[in-house]
Amino acid sequence: MNNLKRLIFLCALAGLASQLSAAKLGDPAGALQIKDWAKGKPVDVRDGKSIYVVEFWATWCGPCKVSIPHLSDLQKKFKDKGVVVVGVTDEEVSKVKPFVEKMGDKMEYVVACDKEQKTSAAYMEAYGQGGIPTAFVVGKDGKVLWFGHPMDGLDKVIQEVVSGQYDLAKAIKKDEGRALMDDFAKLSAQGDPEAKVVGKKLVESAGEDVDRLCEVAFMMVANPEAKNRDFALAESALDRAEKVSGKSDHRVLGIRSVARFESGKHEEGIAMAKAALDASKEEEDKARYKSFIQVMKTKMEGEKKSDKEKK
């Protein structure tokens, strides 16, 4: 490639990256550019007829396999409400079809194979998402209303969208902090002192939104590979959330359990996770806290075993 062609290519790439990074909730959804439809009939997420859940997954992805039955249940539950679930993978149909057939009725929704990762670019890259599974909700107006892990809040969002109670304005405001969170994650991972400054901005930007405060606190303490995790700042975010929601709120208890455990207070962390489990009512929340407890106990056992081996 000569210098002129290379310059044109890099400029075009930079322009594309700029467009992708500008994507936000409320923007028009990208078209599904599909090479093969492994299961079900082709769909158009911008047809104005249905509410679409576009989920990115892969046959090799463990968490994706866990979420597949959940998505099938969601499809069955909301089918009569005009909801259509579409699973998109960048793998070849020759690998995907046998997997789908093996899953049988555990995977009862449309499955598609991306075309040169163009669909992934319009969703995953555009919204700065790097991990799978990740789901996007597209409304009947063809706009992206929500994105996140399919096991974390998707059911509630769909219910609110179907009933006309979904607050897009609130979701858009929450999404505005995504770039700030990305900056914090990078600075924290590097051990940069600037992370504390950005972290304080994150807490302030969350205001009195309990879910947002819990999300910020979790991000500050959950990554064991991050350098100089700011447990004090995370606790301050949870203190603010507690003032709004009360001491018995399972959301605050659950995230605080992680903060305490990761700071070295293992027994206290497990006790708080159990309190969060007792305070929760929804099965989705209960499953989350059971997972917290199991992970904590496994980590404790691993550390004890490691200590014995050292001796």
d(C-alpha 60, C-alpha 144), whole Å: 27
The architecture of the domain spanning 177-310 is Alpha Horseshoe (1.25)
**Kind plus residue range of the DSSP H or E element containing 137:** strand 134-138
Q: Is 227 helix (H, G, I), strand (E, B) or coil?
A: coil
d(C-alpha 142, C-alpha 138), whole Å: 6
Count H helices and E strands in the chain, helices first. Answer: 13, 6
d(C-alpha 64, C-alpha 111), whole Å: 13
Phi then psi dihedrals of residue 213, to 5 deg: -60, -40
pTM recorded for the entire structure: 0.58
Specify the pLDDT at position 57.
98
CA-based torsion, 97, 101, 103, 108: positive or negative:
positive
For 267, counting Cβ atoms within 10 Å of its Cβ (0-12 exposed, 13-18 middle, 19+ buried), the class is exposed
- Summarised one tens digit per residue, pLDDT across range 192-227 is 889 899 999 999 988 899 999 999 999 899 887 777
d(C-alpha 280, C-alpha 272), whole Å: 12
d(C-alpha 166, C-alpha 25), whole Å: 13
Specify the pLDDT at position 311.
64
- Secondary-structure class of domain 23-166 per CATH: alpha beta
Specify the pLDDT at position 308.
77
224: cis peptide before it, omega within 30°? no
d(C-alpha 159, C-alpha 175), whole Å: 20
Q: Where are the domains of the chain?
A: 23-166, 177-310
Residues in the chain with pLDDT values less than 70: 1-22, 179, 311
**Kind plus residue range of the DSSP H or E element containing 147:** strand 144-148
The residue type of 198 is: V
- Summarised one tens digit per residue, pLDDT across range 160-197 is 999 999 999 999 887 877 767 877 887 888 888 898 99
- Which pairs with CB-CB distance under 8 Å and at least 24 residues apart come from 89-97? 89/56, 89/57, 89/58, 89/59, 89/113, 89/114, 90/58, 90/114, 90/117, 90/120, 91/58, 91/59, 92/36, 93/35, 93/36, 93/38, 95/59, 96/36, 96/38, 96/59, 97/38, 97/39
